[in-house]
Amino acid sequence: MPPCQAATDFKPHTLLLYGIAPSFYFYSRQLLIADNHYQWRDVFHAAPFLLGLILPYRLALPCAFLIGSGYLLWLAKTVYTLRRQRQRFRLELFALGTFFAIAVAVLLLGFIWPLLDEADFIVGYSILIGLAFFAATMTLLRFPSITADVSEAVQAAYAESTLKNIDKAAVLAKLESLMNKDRLYTLETLTLGLLAEQVALSPHQLSELINTEFQQGFSRYIRQHRIDEAKRLLLAEPNASVLSIGLSVGFNTQSNFYSAFRDIVGMAPGQYRKIHA
């Protein structure tokens, strides 16, 4: 096809089709990639836009689908890897599973492509990717801490054991003392590194220990202790405000306290106090 004919064959919406999958990749990577710092090779994700400009339309449409399918296969593979960490999640894993379902739906769309006209295919493909964006947004809103939780789960899924020469029983006893007696979780500034220093482990070792022994990551482990104490205080101190209780157990804002309480208990702190008073 002559260059001039290829140029007239260009349709602007093909660029949108080529941009959907890379955009979703960058949007969702904060949920699904343990090390999500940008690197030089990320510039290659701009390649689809160039293809959308130079390919004739009869090739541009199928190539857009193939590229989008490749991104969705990455998505499905990443979510599938988390299956081994399913004990760490409740509704979060179900929410992530919607990404897997959408990836499968897009692949099925490719198989029935010959039965659809061009407009129906574009609409169907765009709707499915749009649903993936919507699912990611709702997941972030419903589970504000999921970024840290999933990052830790991804790391745990691939990491080799660093606890071979560690006296786990002694470390667990020390950890229990720090949590239950010293109530270290009430420190608003508590970090994985700080807690690791207290038990004489590296942050990586402590992260693995919490993952393997408690089937949850450090972030959720600390939140669980804070919420357990908050539940006790809500009933033991009926005159204390909900906000003061949240701050006293280590949360730095009311919204963080409410989000964590709803996530773990399934209801608001005030509702919990009312039901169990």
Provide the pLDDT for residue 123.
Answer: 76
Question: 272: closest CA among 234, 245, 237?
Answer: 234
**Largest distance between two CA atoms of the chain:** 80
What mean pLDDT comes out for the span 16-35? 65
Give the tokens for residue 87: 């004990």
Provide the pLDDT for residue 144.
Answer: 61
Rounded to the nearest integer, the mean pLDDT of the chain is 76
Provide the pLDDT for residue 196.
Answer: 92
Provide the pLDDT for residue 246.
Answer: 95
- Helices 47-54 and 13-32 pack at an angle, to 10 degrees, of 170
Query: What are the tens digits of pLDDT across the range 177-233?
Result: 999 999 999 999 999 889 999 999 988 888 888 888 887 888 889 999 999 999 999
Calpha distance 155→224 (Å, rounded): 20
Instruction: Tell me if residue 257 falls in helix, strand or coil.
Output: helix
* pTM reported for the whole predicted model: 0.52
Instruction: Tell me if residue 216 falls in helix, strand or coil.
Output: coil
**In the predicted structure, residue 90 carries a pLDDT above the cut 80:** no
- Domain-by-domain residue ranges, the chain? 3-149, 164-276
What mean pLDDT comes out for the span 75-80? 66
Kindly report the CATH class assigned to 164-276: mainly alpha
